Amino acid sequence: MKDKTILITGGSSGIGRATAVELASRGARLLVQGRTPERCEEAMDEIRRSATGAPPELLQADLSSLAGVRSLAEAVSERTDHLDVLLNNAGLTLSSRQLTDDGFEKTFGVNHLAPFLLTGLLLPLLRRSPAPRIVTVASEGHRFGKLDLDDLQNERRYAMLRVYGQSKTANILFTVELARRLEGTNVTANCLHPGMIKSNLGRGNGALLDRVHDAIGIVLYPFFKTAEQGAQTSLHLVASPDVADASGRYFANKRPSRPSAHATNPETAGRLWAISEQLTEFSYP
């Protein structure tokens, strides 16, 4: 990883932060996206202390806005003429239906449309690297969220786990279709399940639900992975030579895994791709 240029979204907390710390210690040149200023600065202090190569750089951006995604892509392009790895790590889950600035259901917007657009915008930079990798953090939660392509904005009904699962299904379908479109090029695309992680995912949904989150954590966290343990599959897909030729795959515990059939259906993947291009007003190069 020495001198490899890597962009990590959601790098200010959780497995994104743990991944960034480890990659910085291996000598990578890191561009770290985060949203909250205080959390970003705290994370960057730790990432900088671990760095053995070029100083890591913070790119503050709000991925709940397509303008924010475009601004992030521009910032990356201003700082480098190539990109070796794009790690789409940022994600959220919400207890109630909220909208992005662009009018999209927020979980779908942040977890799927943002990495879809960002990857497309950065694809020219990725193509300039000798062996570029696109890695997207999905989840086993996809098994609870079969996509309804006629209600991607979840206007008819909203259930937190189902909506989160749908966004993770979208991550896998995106990876499947992206890998198909990249066949014959030097770019690979894979996705992963990090495991059940001790993290803040799911917090920030109100005081009552935060207390429920913490109470559940007291019971279950002894059985969960730490952020450092959860980062291992991300690190494997980013750095290991063992997966240099793998593309279009879903991994768990650093091994290929089989997702639900609804997350790999090529017709669904193609339709989601077309809808995503329409919603983001962006066509892949």
Mean pLDDT, the chain, as a whole number? 92
CATH code: domain of residue 189: 3.40.50.720
Q: Name beta bridge partners: 171.
A: none
Q: How far is CA 72 from CA 14, 50, 100, 148, in A?
A: 20, 24, 17, 30
Inside any domain, residue 213: no
Residue 183 lies in a domain: yes
The pLDDT of residue 210 is: 43
Tally of domains in the chain: 1
User: pLDDT tens for residues 234-281?
Assistant: 999 999 999 999 999 999 999 999 999 999 999 999 999 999 999 999
Q: Domain for residue 221, yes or no?
A: no
Interval 148-165: pLDDT, tens: 999 999 999 999 999 999
Residue 218 belongs to some domain of the structure: no
> What is the average pLDDT across 3-18?
96
| Overall size of the chain counted in residues | 285
pLDDT in the model for residue 225: 77
Does a structural domain hold residue 95? yes
Within-domain flag for 217: no
Say which of 158, 164, 221, 250 is annotated catalytic.
Answer: 164
Domain hosting residue 55, numbered range = 5-200+227-280
Percent of the chain predicted with pLDDT > 70: 91
86-123, pLDDT tens digit by residue?
999 999 999 999 999 999 999 999 999 999 999 999 99
Q: Is residue 78 part of a domain?
A: yes
Stated pTM of the model: 0.91
The answer to whether the beta carbons of residues 266 and 176 sit under 8 Å apart is: yes
Residue 212 placed within a domain = no
Active-site annotation holds for 158: no
Sheet harboring 29-34: ordered strands across?
57-60, 29-34, 5-8, 85-88, 133-137, 188-193, 250-252, 255-257
